[in-house]
Chains A and B, each alone.
Chain A
């Protein structure tokens, strides 16, 4: 019994971490830049496609392919930022943001479908990430351990970035009161561009690392968007600890539900969402929207 509970917790943590890595970028965009970016899934998908291409067609090693994916996605996203996103930060209303970003999503789906075709593209794991690892009382897929480590490092790095660096201080100032920040000489447009690149880079990284759970195919961008939005909303937009907590709790609900009653499918995941949002309307650690 105890072994089963421990086992479920391990599964929950690894599933939750994959969700965290993909969703934290969206949390940053929604919380810090106040943009409901429905194209977040599309950028994660682009990352997955680039990694798949690098691994399968160019024969690159896994970590290099992940790097290519992240950098490549950021480069691809820059025109979107300069031409489109720049106009909808902070001051515009949610409907405009929704329409714009949904449009971007459909555009990217169409392009990917045309360039890569409709089939699922694999992101093959290197031998050191495949297969089971014996941690004593059970075998865990090596890839899952890698995801957990990546997630922990990402959370740590982001916390250091936002709480302990100048960049973080300036970004939080620009978010809290952008007019004041600008009059103090803080270049908010550069800040936003860098944060946008960070969010998109994280999305791409999540797309690559989570490709085992969420297979890369053209409709990925829409298919999993609900899951990402849910993780961000449950955790509270803009909060790293909130996103972590939400990912873990939802991962636990999903894994436990699928263990005991697999026929019910995603029911427990969404039931947990309803319960948490009912109790914490701004998410677990979210701030009141200002």
Chain B
């Protein structure tokens, strides 16, 4: 072998080293609220992902998987876009995941086509998000998905005049539209429709307005966290509950960790949601046991944990389908139509909308064995994203 072919051979050997060694690491960038008022939900992203990795290992089809976390903080689209760009360019992630707030998910969407990176949305609940890019798949829920059954349940519970009070941003407006359309379609009437700024902490004037409208039931949506606790407490403390005005909401307004703070006064509040920590199934029991084993507190588990758990499943599936290569079309195609049994119940990924189809449960706050839980009292099976079904 003379010098030139030896050099050529060395060059080829070096390029093979660079072109993807077989024990490579697939990186997943998770953007979630790790600090600030919504930190509990970001920590839940991590709890869900850690639970999946503990059960299934951190290797998929011969590739190592690494999850890196970035702090979304409060809704800040410019900041989230910057975080996503940093993850894509500096950390060279193969997949993006997370997105608690709608505006942040919307800001990340335009990056996906150029970066050829799928995004697994683990919370942001506005229907139109999945239409912003063919590389988005969502494992959480949408407002339409939970609000349409809420309207049906309201009608079934005998409500005739409903006052709607929602937070003034994407998901709130979605919830308002979904409930209004469905409830009026079933013959009910909406007597009041209030949009509350996200920064509201004093809900007394709003309760006064609802009372003046003569409604017999309130439908509400606020993002889980300090606003929901404030709203429920104002509902109870201003006497509306005692005076017979019922409250129905999507489950975001009565997250399981908050029930203890609301107290026994909250018994009877209705909500429709895709996940309750008290869901009675072997998969859920195993899921919660795994979280407890990893050091998490079951009392702090919220819907974002199960969305992250299922999201991790989908990411593993995508890695398997593409054998660790960057091929977003193939990855997303592998997910369409897939079904499995999640801790929340039977679910599937809708091939048209790339959103998760799932059961939505009507729950009532009840005191069971001294503990306050969201008890499932009815099931609306296999609900799609109603927001996208219409359009």
Contacts of B195 in A (CB 8 A): 262-263
Task: Name which of B75-83, B120-128, B177-185, B233-241 contacts chain A.
Answer: B233-241
Task: Name which of A88-96, A100-108, A214-222 contacts chain B.
Answer: A214-222
Residue of A138, A214, A255 near B205 (CB, 8 A) is A255
The yes or no answer to A143 lying at the interface (CB within 8 A) is: yes
Interface contact A213-B39, CB-CB below 8 Å: no
Within the complex, what minimum Cβ distance (angstroms) separates B1 from chain A? Answer: 63
The yes or no answer to A8 lying at the interface (CB within 8 A) is: yes
Docked pose: A117 CA to B209 CA in angstroms: 36
Contacts of B36 in A (CB 8 A): 118, 217, 219
Chain A contact residues, majority secondary structure: mixed
Contacts of B168 in A (CB 8 A): 263
Task: Name which of A129-137, A190-198, A237-245 contacts chain B.
Answer: A129-137
Name the CB-closest residue of B to A113.
B35
Q: A265-B199, A265-B200 are in contact. Are A8 and B236 (CB under 8 A)?
A: no
The yes or no answer to B230 lying at the interface (CB within 8 A) is: yes
Within the complex, what minimum Cβ distance (angstroms) separates B367 from chain A? Answer: 15
Docked pose: A255 CA to B203 CA in angstroms: 9
The yes or no answer to A140 lying at the interface (CB within 8 A) is: yes
Interface contact A262-B208, CB-CB below 8 Å: no
Interface contact A212-B39, CB-CB below 8 Å: no
Interface contact B202-A141, CB-CB below 8 Å: no
Docked pose: A2 CA to B97 CA in angstroms: 53
Interface contact B238-A262, CB-CB below 8 Å: no
Interface contact A138-B239, CB-CB below 8 Å: yes
Contacts of A134 in B (CB 8 A): 239
Interface contact B261-A139, CB-CB below 8 Å: no
Docked pose: A138 CA to B211 CA in angstroms: 10
Interface contact B194-A262, CB-CB below 8 Å: yes
Within the complex, what minimum Cβ distance (angstroms) separates A264 from chain B? Answer: 8
Interface contact A141-B237, CB-CB below 8 Å: yes
Interface contact A8-B205, CB-CB below 8 Å: yes
Contacts of A213 in B (CB 8 A): 201-202
Interface contact B205-A262, CB-CB below 8 Å: yes
Q: List 24 A-B contacts (CB under 8 A).
A: A7-B208, A8-B208, A11-B202, A113-B35, A117-B39, A119-B37, A120-B226, A120-B229, A122-B261, A131-B236, A131-B265, A139-B240, A141-B204, A144-B237, A217-B226, A219-B36, A254-B202, A255-B202, A258-B206, A259-B206, A262-B197, A263-B195, A264-B197, A265-B197
